[in-house]
Amino acid sequence: MNGDSDTRFGDDAVSGEEVVQELLNRPCLAAIAQPETGGDLLLHFGGWQPYEDPPNPRVLTSERGKWSLMLCCPWRLDGPRAPICDWRSVADSGKQSQQPYLVLEGLTIEAVELIKPGLDLRLHFARGFRLSALCDSVGSSDDCWYLLRPDDSSIAATRDFRLLYEPPAPSD
């Protein structure tokens, strides 16, 4: 793994910033959050493919988008005029029936920001919706967010402000 967020990594020698830009112009296929995950949010983009190894086994799904983004840190979803929900409201099983994050399904990402030095991630969706992940805050795992790519490689932003690359598993 590579611990330098400014270094290029992978066979195609792309930077972390370039990898997150792969989400541009892709529609959100599904948004999944369950109280059992403590407010983590899983977003799927691109076409569907089988899940080889889900990032959180408590999220019940057998397929994933070609790009799957797991937010394991505090996050907030803003609408065009006001905040809609955040990780705390999703973690509350009493509020779960509302599932306001589902508004993202079908919306296309129009801009992606990787904000340094904390590696916060901000996704701008169509119709004025914005999702912000706050990487420098306490969350449910060592990773703040994790992006699984179509080839099963991934990048993860860590709580110690590193961007790590994981290559795809070798084929048998």
Percent residues over pLDDT 70 in the chain: 77
- Structural domain includes residue 11: no
Q: Which tens digits make up the pLDDT trace of 88-111?
A: 888 877 665 568 889 999 999 999
Torsion of CA 149, 8, 137, 146, to 10 degrees: 10
Spatial distance between the Cα atoms of 23 and 44, rounded to a whole number of angstroms: 10
- Structural domain includes residue 171: no
Sequence-distant (≥ 6) Cβ neighbours of residue 10 within 8 angstroms: 19, 153, 165, 167
Structural domain boundaries, residue 89: 16-166
- Structural domain includes residue 81: yes
Query: pTM to 2 decimals?
Result: 0.84
Domain count, the chain: 1
